[in-house]
Amino acid sequence: MEATVLDVDLLGNVGPKARKAVDLAKTIMHRENYTSSNSTSTQSEKVLRLLSKRGFESPHKCFVGLPVVSNVPITGGDEVNSAVLARVGRWWYTRCYERVITSQGEVMRRSMWNERGLLRECEEREAAFRMLVAYARKPVKGIPTGGLI
């Protein structure tokens, strides 16, 4: 099993504009019961617990920081690739967390990524998306110790 999870929280030295935008998305999700209001666990932590609870074996995980805004070359890459990576990260974040529709049909008025001040803040502070990349082997139950037959 492979899992890739983009968390709602950002990594790094997140500024006040980014914190306010992330808090709005989290507030809407909590209010509409998309997430447990008493849970402080991230989505990635919940996925890892679920894999363990279901008996998946040999779990491997890695947390990756994807740049929110990037003009800096990625190791082995170039400026264009890092900018594309940042744009794709913002697109996925919007799809996963900003497009939360409430029971009254309310949505966030516009993407937080449309605010140039927020993007400038994220670039200056080198904010990043927190992404889990994990894999584990499915549980093997009921197989005799002699092998598969």
Going residue by residue through the chain, which has 149 residues, state the pLDDT in tens, using 9 for 90 and above: 888 999 988 988 899 999 998 888 888 777 776 555 456 678 888 888 888 888 888 889 999 898 999 865 555 555 668 888 899 999 999 888 877 665 555 666 678 898 999 999 999 999 999 999 998 888 877 544 444 44
Instruction: Answer yes or no: are the C-beta atoms of 131 and 64 closer than 8 Å.
Output: yes
Domain assignment of residue 47, yes or no:
yes
Q: 61 lies in a domain?
A: yes
Residue 13: per-residue pLDDT: 85
142 is a domain residue? no
For residue 53, being part of any structural domain is answered with yes
In a domain, 65, yes or no: yes
The answer to the question of residue 147 being in a domain is no
Residue 74 domain flag: yes
Q: Do residues 7 and 44 make contact, with C-beta atoms less than 8 angstroms apart?
A: yes
Query: Do 9 and 45 touch, CB atoms closer than 8 A?
Result: no
Domain count, the chain: 1
**Residue 44 lies in domain:** 2-137
> Pick from 66, 102, 98: which is nearest to 84 by CA?
66
Q: Is residue 145 part of a domain?
A: no
Q: How far apart are CA 142 and CA 34, in angstroms?
A: 36
Q: In this predicted structure, what is the pLDDT of residue 34?
A: 59
